[in-house]
Amino acid sequence: MHLFEHLRLHPERPQIRQIRRAVELLRQGLFVAVPTETTYVLLCLPESGKAVANITRLRQLDSSHMWSVVCADLSQAATCVRMDNHAHRILKRCLPGPYTFILPASSSLPKRIFGKRRDVGIRIPAHPVCQMLLDEIGEVLLATTLQLPGSAEPEYDPDEFVLRIKHLSCAIMDAGWCGMVPTTVVDLCGDEPELHRQGAGEWPA
């Protein structure tokens, strides 16, 4: 059964009723477009095969695509990745914020999605809507940037991209326009941090 909902939220003081409705929809197996301090992202529960398939089809992703894991805090992130004291200090200094940190993956990540990958990107967004959603659901979520095929930039205007995703079972958490600059990506798997992409977060931080 097809289900689509357009949830409108205040960008700084999100309505808890709308947040809880988004959690219900995620638990029903839908994916949700959510604002962050950088771009809109597509989020779903890792076990939601239909949502993963819909996102993959929407974005035309291949099997090599590197999904990120979005967490509410560092203790939740520690269930997904292995981090030494040096990496922990960097994450504590930079997060929540506009960064994705690549770290060695733990065995808890679903092999159906991550395959034999030994690393995974971790995000802890600072946007109030995304933070409230993560706090309310109490679980990590899979994430990928909302950038549609043929678009040179990520989507930032919900009134525009709603027309391109409403045919799928999903929801939009509409808090107005979002940024267009993606996260800064830093690899912490080696002996020294390695900048993979300069984005919205300054590096060195």
For 204, the token pair is 């060195």
Contact 122, 75 (CB under 8 A): no
- 3-54 pLDDT tens trace: 999 999 999 999 999 999 999 999 999 999 999 999 999 999 999 999 999 9
Residues 6+ apart with CB under 8 A from 40: 33, 34, 145, 146, 154, 155, 156, 158, 161, 178
- pTM, two decimals, is 0.94
4-197 CATH pick, 3.30.420.310, 3.90.870.10, 3.40.50.2000, 1.10.8.50? 3.90.870.10
How many Å apart are CA 174 and CA 178, to the nearest integer?
Answer: 10
How many Å apart are CA 79 and CA 72, to the nearest integer?
Answer: 12
Distance from CA of residue 143 to its chain's centroid?
3
- 100-109 pLDDT tens trace: 999 998 877 7
